[in-house]
């Protein structure tokens, strides 16, 4: 009998399956990376929500503004320029200024000082420096304002009289509808024009006070009221937050002088027609920061694009690395900047501002400004930049609301004066008039006979005071 041998089956080779494993892993890895890149691309290119999209669309260009722009006039106001050469001189200045501004903006943060802009008119035409002219300080509580008129040196008045057509050019400022720099010009270039505007306001207030005291009270009051009209018109149409704050100070200075002149102006004397605007409610745009925020956002876009193109910028810290890195996305960063400023166009905030509700200040201080988490992951450098550059915008809101309150105080002074002229007691008239005009704003009549108005933005002063109309007539006549 023969024995059959059992044969064992040979094992299936595993080598081909093991050989495919790295390939499969590579495919999976490629797919994962592709998916991540696609997700990052989609997140970076995702459109903002409808409300933010509307705000960004509205900010693509400056909104219309009334009348002519005073920027060129103020830029060259110190020089006696033939009218035929003014446009050419300004065009040359503008070209050189933009070159300087772009060079400064492209330099690493803190590496170069702010540029000093010198007009091409320098040395070619007679110049009368505004800072050498008579000026009246009425901005801060400690400023003398009207009583400071006696402190102006006679030589300053002589210089103004000898300064060619300077006084006429200062008066011509009132013929312009607004003051703002175009987007191509650097912050510092606007600061130059804003400084000139500050000087012209203080000179105009000095002229108004001197005219009131030494020549004609009605004419002096007229000049002061005209300065208020220009200040409130300019305040409503600004290009940058810093410029807006400068205009705010000039508006308050003008109204303070008007209040002091009304205290020395007889109650029965008719007001000049230029003062009629004081009785009108403030324009809503005086308290709004929407257009100003739009200009800030356009400037941020310009600065970040410049950083990517040049490899550095004055808004770009060296700690952030290379701005052209794939870890930075300009579009998302500009969108985040717009989101952080979107409160300025929010209807709810605007309604609170117009009603003088201080809740608007707290609302803006808590406005969601942090970038969304997913977007932060795909734009980490921009996320760091956004979190570092987050100023407290609520104080700008408070300042705008204070401007509206100051204008309403002008309304109150005019209506109080009318009531006094009819024989109504000032305390009774104030009790009747103050609340409807000043809304929720706190005020008080001090023992010294001044109306003291509370400010929401208190970093400079907690209150502003005006004398009661007609309260200093006897003293002025002594």
The pLDDT confidence band at residue 42, using thresholds 50, 70 and 90, is low
d(CA 314, CA 304): 9
Average pLDDT of span 416-424: 95
User: Cα dist. 289→173, 339, 354, 396 in Å?
Assistant: 23, 14, 12, 8
What confidence category does residue 225 fall into, taking pLDDT thresholds of 50, 70 and 90?
very high
Q: For residue 64, what is the DSSP state?
A: P
Tokens of 274: 């230029």
What is the number of other CB atoms lying within 10 angstroms of the CB of residue 346? 18
Average pLDDT, the chain: 85
Tell me the mean pLDDT in the region 137-147: 84
Q: How many CB atoms lie within 10 A of CB 126?
A: 13
Q: How far, in Å, CA of 39 to CA of 360, rounded? A: 37
Percentage helix, strand, coil for the chain under 3-state DSSP, each rounded to 5: 60, 5, 35
Res 109 pLDDT > 70: no
Tokens matching residue 425: 């007691």
Distances (CA, A) of 39 to 170, 319, 359, 373, 378: 59, 27, 40, 14, 9
Helix axis angle for 187-214 and 241-264, nearest 10°, is 0
pLDDT at 315 over 80: no
HEC string of 221-265 equals HHHHHHHHHHHHHHHCCCCCHHHHHHHHHHHHHHHHHHHHHHHHC
Lowest average pLDDT, out of 299-303, 366-370, 384-388, goes to 384-388
By percentage, how much of the chain surpasses pLDDT 70? 84
Distance of CA 450 to CAs 310, 423, 468, Å? 57, 19, 6
- CB of 82 closer than 8 Å to CB of 124: no
Distance CA 356, CA 57 (A): 28
Residue 279 pLDDT > 60: yes
Work out the pLDDT band at 145, boundaries 50, 70, 90.
very high
The predicted-structure confidence for 152-161, as pLDDT tens digits, reads as follows 999 999 999 9
Q: Indicate the DSSP class of residue 79.
A: B
Position 144 pLDDT exceeds 90: no
The tokens for 463 are 């209150």
Does 409 or 303 have the greater pLDDT score?
409
Of residues 468 and 376, more confidence is placed in: 468
What gap in Å lies between CA 226 and CA 202, rounded to an integer? 13
**Tokens 């509205």 map to which residue?**
58
Task: Report whether 393 contacts 367 (CB < 8 A).
Answer: yes
Task: Give the per-residue pLDDT at 452.
Answer: 94
What mean pLDDT is predicted for residues 309-328? 70
**What is the arithmetic mean of pLDDT over 395-412?**
95
473: Cα separation from own chain's centroid: 38
* pLDDT, tens digit, 9 for 90 and up, residues 85-105: 999 999 999 888 888 777 776
CB of 294 within 8 A of CB of 58?
yes
Average pLDDT over residues 103-121: 71
Q: Determine whether 125 is exposed, middle or buried from the number of CB atoms within 10 Å of its CB (0-12, 13-18, 19+).
A: middle
For residues 441-467, b (16+ Cβ closer than 10 Å) or e, as one string? bebeeeeeebbebbbbbeeeeebbbbb
* 325-348 average pLDDT score: 88
Bridge partner list, 464: 453
pLDDT at 47 over 70: no
- Highest-pLDDT range among 123-132, 239-248, 311-320: 123-132
Residue that wins the pLDDT comparison between 38 and 174: 174
Q: Is the predicted pLDDT of residue 382 greater than 90, yes or no? A: no
**478 or 440, greater pLDDT:** 440
Mean pLDDT of 420-447: 93
Looking at residue 113, what is its pLDDT?
A: 67
Mean pLDDT of 404-428: 95
Q: How far apart are CA 231 and CA 174, in angstroms?
A: 9
**Does residue 3 carry a pLDDT above 90?**
no
The per-residue DSSP string of 335-348 comes to HHHHHHHGGGG-HH
> What stretch of H or E contains 444?
strand 443-445
Lowest mean pLDDT among 18-32, 130-144, 327-341, 453-467: 18-32
Q: Does the pLDDT of residue 366 top 60, yes or no?
A: yes
Q: Confidence class of residue 363 from pLDDT cuts 50, 70 and 90?
A: very high
Report residue 301's pLDDT band, with 50, 70 and 90 as the boundaries: confident
* pLDDT computed for residue 188 by the predictor: 60
Q: pLDDT digit string (tens) for 155-211? A: 999 999 999 899 999 999 999 999 988 777 766 676 678 889 999 999 999 999 999
More confident residue, 14 or 349: 349
Summarize the confidence of residues 63-84 as an average pLDDT: 92
Phi-psi region of 21 (alpha: psi -120 to 50; beta: other; left: phi over 0): alpha
pLDDT average, residue stretch 256-279:
96
Residue 217 confidence (pLDDT): 96
Taking 70 as the threshold, does the pLDDT of residue 43 lie above it? no
Q: How confident is the model at residue 318 (pLDDT cuts 50, 70, 90)?
A: low
Distance CA 210, CA 191 (A): 29
* Interatomic CA distance for residues 258 and 274, integer angstroms: 11
Residue of 11 and 227 predicted with greater confidence: 227
Residue 400, SS3 per DSSP: helix
Q: Over the Cα atoms of the chain, what is R_g?
A: 31
Contact 197, 246 (CB under 8 A): yes
Lowest mean per-residue pLDDT among 216-225, 318-327, 410-419: 318-327
Strand partners, 453: 443, 464
pLDDT of residue 101: 74
Q: With CA atoms as reference, report the closest residue to 249 among 400, 416, 60.
A: 400
Strand intervals (E) in 61-128: none
**Residue 181 and residue 149: Cα distance in Å, rounded?**
33
* Beta-carbon count within 10 A of 44 CB: 15
pLDDT given at position 172: 97
């Amino acid at each position: 009998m023969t024995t059959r041998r059992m044969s064992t089956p040979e094992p299936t080779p595993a080598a081909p399956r093991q050989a495919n494993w790295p390939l499969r892993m590579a495919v999976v890895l490629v797919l994962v990376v592709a998916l991540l890149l696609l997700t990052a691309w989609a997140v970076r290119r995702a459109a903002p929500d409808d409300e933010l999209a509307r705000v960004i669309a509205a900010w693509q260009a400056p909104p219309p503004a009334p009348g002519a722009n005073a920027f060129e006039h103020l830029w060259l106001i110190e020089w006696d320029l033939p009218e035929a050469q003014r446009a050419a001189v300004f065009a040359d200045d503008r070209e050189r200024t933009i070159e300087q501004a772009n060079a400064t903006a492209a330099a690493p943060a803190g590496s170069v000082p702010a540029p000093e802009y010198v007009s091409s008119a320098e040395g070619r035409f007679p110049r009368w420096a505004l800072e050498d002219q008579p000026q009246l300080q009425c901005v801060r509580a400690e400023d003398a304002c009207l009583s400071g008129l006696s402190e102006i040196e006679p030589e300053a008045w002589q210089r103004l009289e000898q300064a060619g057509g300077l006084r006429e050019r200062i008066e011509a400022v009132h013929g312009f509808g607004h003051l703002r720099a175009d987007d191509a010009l650097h912050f510092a270039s606007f600061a130059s024009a804003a400084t000139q505007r500050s000087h012209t306001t203080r000179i105009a207030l000095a002229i108004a006070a001197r005219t009131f005291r030494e020549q004609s009270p009605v004419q002096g009051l007229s000049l002061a009221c005209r300065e208020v009209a220009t200040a409130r018109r300019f305040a409503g149409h600004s290009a940058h937050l810093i410029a807006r704050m400068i205009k705010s100070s000039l508006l308050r200075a003008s109204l303070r002088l008007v209040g002091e002149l009304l205290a020395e102006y007889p109650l029965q004397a008719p007001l000049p027609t230029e003062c009629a605007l004081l009785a009108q409610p403030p324009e809503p745009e005086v308290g709004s920061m929407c257009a100003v925020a739009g200009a800030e956002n356009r400037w941020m876009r310009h600065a970040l694009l410049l950083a990517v193109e040049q490899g550095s910028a004055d808004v770009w810290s060296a700690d952030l690395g290379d701005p052209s890195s794939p870890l930075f996305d300009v579009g998302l960063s500009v969108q985040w900047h717009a989101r952080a400023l979107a409160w300025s166009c929010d209807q709810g905030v605007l309604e609170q501002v117009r009603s003088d509700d201080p809740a608007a200040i707290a609302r803006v201080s808590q406005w969601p400004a942090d970038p969304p988490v997913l977007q932060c992951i795909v734009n980490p450098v921009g996320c760091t930049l956004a979190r570092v550059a987050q100023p407290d915008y609520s104080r700008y809101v408070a300042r705008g609301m204070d401007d509206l309150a100051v204008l309403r105080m002008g309304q109150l002074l005019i209506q109080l004066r009318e009531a006094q002229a009819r024989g109504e007691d000032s305390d009774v008239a104030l009790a009747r008039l103050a609340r409807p005009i000043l809304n929720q704003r706190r005020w008080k009549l001090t023992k010294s006979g001044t109306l003291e108005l509370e400010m929401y933005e208190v970093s400079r002063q907690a209150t502003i005071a005006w004398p009661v109309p007609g309260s200093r007539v006897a003293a002025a006549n002594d």
